[in-house]
Chain A
Amino acid sequence: MKRLAVMLALLGCGAAQAAEVQVAVAANFTAPMQKIAAEFNKDTGHKAVLAFGATGKFYAQIVNGAPFELLLAADDETPARLEREGRTVPGSRFTYATGKLALWSARPGYVDAGGKVLASGSYAHLAIANPKTAPYGLAATETLEKLGLSAGVQGKLVQGENIAQAHQFVSTGNAELGFVALSQVWKDGKFSAGSGWIVPASLHAPIRQDAVVLAKGAGNEAARALAGYLKSDKARDIIRSFGYEL
């Protein structure tokens, strides 16, 4: 009875302090973030309201007054830029995940373990994310360059506006293969469908994904709490299970 009273008191106290945090999340981090937000809500009572999209678009929206309090970017450049411009809580920037790139096809057995299919030229379309705007697209072009295949695939490249669209082109079969975020096609330690090759990290610059508390979130306890939660073992396990490095 006494224990129940204590629990009720704790719950009541949690509810009284529970707050909401508006989070802008990079498209490639959609699935892990949904899981983390659910756990965060269970553990702290705070609620994370998530918006998913392209990091460049979030930048433009934040600069123009969007109500986001925490940004989980697809790169490390955008958070650094926002910090330089004084739009963040100083010292709140950190790397929450390092992305892995995968060459993937919806067809089982099409992509070999060494990614040699790339050089075979047996495909009509190779999908990548726009290298100008998406870090995974940039990593893909760096990989092609390192492999000496840039010129060879020139007429076959199709670009998605972000990594989600590159994945869509491949999953619908319109492109036979494409460079996607491993997190999109990875589950429980293996490719969830089709066939793929995890691109060695030596073939491209690291895809460091940084998070930062934005100026709008300075007074919000839930924003700080979620930033801290992302560094917890529980969150890191979830992040790793989706094929990210830490």
Chain B
Amino acid sequence: MIDSADVAAVWLTLKLASLVTVLLLAIGTPVAWWLAHTRSRLRPVVGAVVALPLVLPPTVIGFYLLLALGPNGAVGQLTQALGIGLLPFTFGGLVIASVLYSMPFVVQPLQNAFEAIGSRPLEVAATLRASPWDSFWTVAVPLARPGFFTAAVLGFAHTVGEFGVVLMIGGNIPEKTRVVSVQIYDHVEALEYAQAHWLAGGMLVFSFVVLLALYTLNPGAMKGRR
């Protein structure tokens, strides 16, 4: 029932979600750390910007990305000047869009975890002459491990479940931008309900198992995600 195009879409989705999760942890961790510790007046502003994808419809994000990344947009002109070319219709474009779109799902659990640790353990580490860098890796990261786990799982799962943004800037190119959610949409549109069921059912089971694992291994995740 599953054909090679479906397999390619599944593979592409896993590749996209893995890469995006790694990037999100790399970018999201300093952002979450800053949000958890700063007293800057910019804190609510940055927090709101990071959280925007939670409330904006994907069509808004996709529409503005299409304009911004396009030949007449600011980012598009920059990428062209740098010789990268235009990002819509490319895997790289999807990666950037997904990082923006899934950012709150990674930043917020991390921020909650860092805030829960508080400044006390870090102060103690400092009195023992640990450098801030040192105490971050040996004190904060181990204590925030459940937060990292939640962030990674939610970032990955949310990227797998992304649809609207990909639809608007992807162009449905096999092995480049045709992810599972788009493939399911195509099957339904083409009235290929049997194939749609295989993929859609698979997504349902996958998502349930991921969340079940998260809430079983890390019961705090439910409280952490307000």
- By a CB distance below 8 angstroms, the chain A residues around B190 are 56, 132-133
- By a CB distance below 8 angstroms, the chain B residues around A174 are 66, 69-71, 86, 88-89, 169
Q: Does A86 contact B (CB under 8 A)?
A: no
**Contact call B189/A57, Cβ cutoff below 8 A:** yes
**Contact call B89/A172, Cβ cutoff below 8 A:** no
**Contact call B189/A159, Cβ cutoff below 8 A:** no
Residue of B168, B172, B173, B191 near A56 (CB, 8 A) is B191
Q: Does B40 contact A (CB under 8 A)?
A: no
- By a CB distance below 8 angstroms, the chain B residues around A161 are 167, 172, 185-186, 189
- By a CB distance below 8 angstroms, the chain B residues around A56 are 188-191
Task: Report the nearest B residue to A134, measured CB to CB.
Answer: B189
Q: Does A54 contact B (CB under 8 A)?
A: yes
B29-68 to A contact mask, C-beta < 8 Å, 1/0: 0000000000000000000000000000000000000110
Task: Report the nearest B residue to A132, measured CB to CB.
Answer: B190
Q: Does A93 contact B (CB under 8 A)?
A: no
Task: Report the nearest A residue to B86, measured CB to CB.
Answer: A174
Q: Does A184 contact B (CB under 8 A)?
A: no
**Contact call B173/A124, Cβ cutoff below 8 A:** no
Residue of A54, A158, A173 near B189 (CB, 8 A) is A54
Q: Does B72 contact A (CB under 8 A)?
A: yes
- By a CB distance below 8 angstroms, the chain B residues around A160 are 171-172
- By a CB distance below 8 angstroms, the chain A residues around B186 are 130, 132-133, 161
CA of A90 to CA of B189, assembled, Å: 25
Q: Does B161 contact A (CB under 8 A)?
A: no
**Contact call B189/A169, Cβ cutoff below 8 A:** no
**Contact call B70/A173, Cβ cutoff below 8 A:** yes
In the assembled complex, the CB of B4 is this many whole angstroms from the nearest CB of chain A, namely 15
Interface residues of A in 118-152 (CB under 8 A from B): 124-125, 127, 130, 132-133
**Contact call B188/A159, Cβ cutoff below 8 A:** no
**Contact call B189/A125, Cβ cutoff below 8 A:** no
- By a CB distance below 8 angstroms, the chain A residues around B172 are 130, 158-161
Q: Does A186 contact B (CB under 8 A)?
A: no
CA of A125 to CA of B88, assembled, Å: 10
**Contact call A157/B188, Cβ cutoff below 8 A:** no
**Best-buried of A54, A124, A169 by chain B (most CB within 10 Å):** A169
**Contact call A172/B67, Cβ cutoff below 8 A:** yes
CA of A56 to CA of B193, assembled, Å: 12
In the assembled complex, the CB of A41 is this many whole angstroms from the nearest CB of chain B, namely 29
Q: Does A6 contact B (CB under 8 A)?
A: no
Interface residues of B in 76-135 (CB under 8 A from A): 85-86, 88-89
A158-199 to B contact mask, C-beta < 8 Å, 1/0: 111100010011001111000000000000000000000000
**Beyond A54-B189, A132-B186, A133-B186, is A158–B89 a contact (Cβ under 8 Å)?**
yes
Task: Report the nearest A residue to B167, measured CB to CB.
Answer: A161
**Beyond A57-B189, A132-B190, is A158–B167 a contact (Cβ under 8 Å)?**
no
Q: Does A60 contact B (CB under 8 A)?
A: yes
In the assembled complex, the CB of A179 is this many whole angstroms from the nearest CB of chain B, namely 14
**Contact call A60/B191, Cβ cutoff below 8 A:** yes
Q: Does A59 contact B (CB under 8 A)?
A: yes
B190-225 to A contact mask, C-beta < 8 Å, 1/0: 110000000000000000000000000000000000
- By a CB distance below 8 angstroms, the chain A residues around B173 are 157-159
CA of A169 to CA of B69, assembled, Å: 12
**Beyond A158-B172, A159-B173, is A172–B70 a contact (Cβ under 8 Å)?**
yes
Beyond A172-B66, A173-B72, 17 additional pairs, beta carbon < 8 A: A57-B189, A60-B188, A60-B191, A125-B89, A125-B171, A130-B189, A132-B186, A132-B190, A133-B186, A157-B173, A158-B173, A160-B171, A161-B189, A172-B72, A173-B70, A174-B66, A175-B171
- Residues of A whose CB lies within 8 Å of any CB of B are 54, 56-57, 59-60, 124-125, 127, 130, 132-133, 157-161, 165, 168-169, 172-175
- Residues of B whose CB lies within 8 Å of any CB of A are 66-67, 69-72, 85-86, 88-89, 167-169, 171-173, 185-186, 188-191
Instruction: List 30 interface pairs A-B (beta carbons < 8 Å), by A numbering.
Output: A54-B189, A56-B190, A56-B191, A57-B188, A57-B189, A124-B86, A125-B89, A130-B186, A130-B189, A132-B190, A133-B189, A157-B173, A158-B173, A160-B171, A161-B172, A161-B189, A165-B167, A168-B66, A169-B171, A172-B66, A172-B70, A172-B72, A173-B70, A173-B71, A174-B66, A174-B69, A174-B71, A174-B88, A174-B169, A175-B89
